[in-house]
Chains A and B, each alone.
Chain A
Amino acid sequence: DAGITQSPRHKVTETGTPVTLRCHQTENHRYMYWYRQDPGHGLRLIHYSYGVKDTDKGEVSDGYSVSRSKTEDFLLTLESATSSQTSVYFCAISESINAGELFFGEGSRLTVL
């Protein structure tokens, strides 16, 4: 299994509070991604990174920000959580874009009350 660790794995928070999810990889892969998974929508890309301090928006980026200060860490931040952000969040990594598989973490379940 690819070395991807997500933390926390489960979190319950209240509307309006900030939340940060962390993705840590030990594979030294260049590309890192944050997806959310919701019933009826499959996996949707939030943000991705193609290198340290290089990030770009995905399909559903509103309300989310990301940072990547080191190759191994990719942080997803919800500045002010809303109930619509209740979801399971997956981090993924890949060696290259459009040339191979994504390796996914185990997911972080976030509940916003």
Chain B
Amino acid sequence: GESVGLHLPTLSVQEGDNSIINCAYSNSASDYFIWYKQESGKGPQFIIDIRSNMDKRQGQRVTVLLNKTVKHLSLQIAATQPGDSAVYFCAEDSTGNQFYFGTGTSLTVIP
């Protein structure tokens, strides 16, 4: 089966600093990746996605980097705010019909 894992289960950052959340995947055939944010008691929400033909994609305050050589992607959040505190998941898809999710990283923003 797929293996999507995160390097660190928890991450604490000071408000205003940049956050970097990492994700490793094992299937070299994966061609589509998404980052989700999940706040306590809610369902996951889409943050940003990237396809395997790209190395980098930017959104509002977020950047996703994809390194296919080492099967790693990261989510960078600029100027982290208290509202960014949540669990972040990466998800990969190689089959075209199933996403495989990582176990999540809990981000805590310290005021």
Which residues of A are in contact with B by a Cβ distance under 8 Å? 4, 35, 40-45, 48, 50, 56, 58-59, 90, 92, 97-98, 100-107
Contact = CB atoms under 8 A, between A and B. Distances in A.
Interface in B32-62: 32, 34, 41-46, 49
Given A41-B103, A106-B42, A98 B1 contact: no
Most buried by B among A42, A58, A100: A42
Nearest to A38: B103
A44 B101 contact: yes
Interface of B: 1, 4, 31-32, 34, 41-46, 49, 89, 91, 93, 96-104
A56 B93 CA distance: 16
Contacts of B41: 106-107
B21 to A, nearest CB: 14
18 contacts: A35-B101, A42-B103, A43-B44, A43-B89, A44-B101, A45-B99, A45-B100, A48-B97, A58-B98, A59-B100, A90-B43, A98-B97, A100-B49, A102-B34, A103-B46, A104-B43, A105-B43, A107-B42
